[in-house]
Amino acid sequence: QVQLAESGGGLVLAGGSLRLACVASRRTFPTFGTGWFRQAPGKEREFVAYISGSGDITNYAESVKGRFAISRENAKNTVYLQMNSLKPEDTALYYCAGSPKKGYYRDGKAYDYWGQGTQVTVSS
C-alpha cells in the first residue's frame, strides 16, 4: 500500500500564491501518474491538474489554466501544485491522488490512492 500526504495549504489574500506538496510514503515501479482534486463545501469534487509519472504530460482544468502549475521531483517522491493569482473561488480542500486508470485521469474514481487533503482558503 502507498500513503499520500498533502501539505502547504493555508489562508491567503486574493491574488496571492501557495505551493502544495504531495509526498508518497514509498517509491513505486513504475512511478505512477498523479492528480490534484478539490472539493468546496456543498460542491462536488472536481479535477484540478494531472501529471504523468515521468512528468512529460500535464493537464489542467480550464478554471486554473495559466494560474496553476503541476510538477514533480521523483527523487523526493513528491508532486507539487504551484498556485498563483488565487481567487476566492479556489477555496477548497485539495487532495492528491495516484495511479489512475489509463485515459481516465480526470475522474477521481479511477485513482487507487488518496491523501487526506489540505485546506486552501482565499479571502478577498
Stretch 11-30: mean pLDDT, rounded? 93
Alpha-carbon separation of residue 9 from 44, 70, 99, 110, 122 (angstroms): 20, 15, 23, 25, 10
DSSP string, 70-85: EEEEGGGTEEEEEE-S
d(CA 60, CA 12): 22
Model confidence band, residue 103 (pLDDT cutoffs 50, 70, 90): confident
Query: What pLDDT score was predicted for residue 26?
Result: 87
- Checking if the pLDDT of 117 tops 90, the result is yes
Query: What pLDDT score was predicted for residue 58?
Result: 97
66-98 pLDDT, tens per residue? Answer: 999 999 998 999 999 999 999 999 999 999 999
